[in-house]
Amino acid sequence: MWSTAQLAGLRMNTPLSDQHRLRVEASVSALTVVVLAPMVFRLAGSSYDHAIHRNIALAMKDHLTLYTPHFLLQLLVLAFDWLLPGNIDRAMSVVMLLAYAASAAVIARVILRRTSSVAVVYMMTLGLLLSSSAAFLFPLDRHLYFGYVPANVFHSPTMVLLKPLALASFGYAVSALWPQQGEKAPTLIPAALLTVVCALAKPSYTVCILPALAVLAAKRAASRTPIDWKLLAFGFFLPALATLLLQYQWTYSDRQIPGVYAGTSHIVFAPLVVVRHYSSWLGPKLLFSLLFPFSALAVNFRRAREDLALMLAWVLFAAGAGLMYLLAETGPRAIQGNLLWSAQIAVFILFVQSAAHISSYFGGSLATCVPRERWRAKASFGCLLLHTAFGIAFYVAEYNQLQALW
How high is the pLDDT of residue 314?
98
Q: What is the pLDDT along the chain (406 residues), one digit of tens a residue?
A: 333 333 333 333 456 677 888 999 999 999 999 999 999 999 987 888 899 999 999 999 988 888 889 999 999 999 999 998 888 999 999 999 999 999 999 999 999 988 878 999 999 999 999 999 999 999 999 999 999 999 999 999 999 999 999 999 999 999 999 886 544 445 889 999 999 999 999 999 999 999 999 999 999 999 888 899 999 999 999 999 999 999 998 888 766 665 566 667 889 999 999 999 999 999 999 999 999 999 999 999 999 999 999 999 999 999 999 999 999 988 878 788 899 999 999 999 999 999 999 998 876 555 566 778 888 999 999 999 999 999 999 999 999 988 888 9
299: closest CA among 385, 386, 378?
378
Q: How many domains does the chain have?
A: 1
For 143-202, the pLDDT digits (tens) are 999 999 999 999 999 999 999 999 999 999 999 998 865 444 458 899 999 999 999 999
* CB count in 10 Å sphere of residue 107: 29
Report the predicted TM-score, pTM, of the whole model to 2 decimal places: 0.92
pLDDT on residue 264: 77
Contacts of 197 (CB under 8 A, 6+ apart): 72, 165
For residue 317, the SS3 value is helix
Look up the domain containing 362 and give its range. 4-405
Cβ neighbour number for residue 384 with a 10 Å cutoff? 23
Q: What is the CA radius of gyration of the chain?
A: 21
Helix (H), strand (E), coil (C) string for 134-174: CCCCHHHHCCCCCCCCCCCCCCCHHHHHHHHHHHHHHHHHH
C-beta of residue 192 within 8 angstroms of C-beta of residue 234: yes
Q: How does pLDDT run across 338-355, given as a tens digit for each residue?
A: 999 999 999 999 999 999
Q: Which residues contact 237 (CB under 8 A, 6 or more apart)?
A: 210, 213
- The CA-atom distances, in angstroms, between 50 and each of 40, 45, 157, 160 are 10, 7, 6, 11
- 34-40: which pairs have CB atoms within 8 A and are 24 or more residues apart? 35/126, 35/130, 36/97, 36/100, 36/129, 36/154, 37/97, 38/399, 39/154, 39/395, 39/398, 39/399, 40/93, 40/96, 40/97, 40/100
* Per-residue pLDDT at 11: 36
- Partners of residue 267 on adjacent β-strands: 329
Q: What pLDDT score does 110 carry?
A: 94
List Cα–Cα distances, 172 to 108, 259, 398, in angstroms: 17, 38, 34
CA 233/CA 91 separation, integer angstroms: 36
For position 257, what pLDDT does the model report?
62
Rounded to an integer, what distance in angstroms lies between the CA atom of residue 212 and that of residue 315? Answer: 5
Short-list 94, 104, 133, CA closest to 26: 104
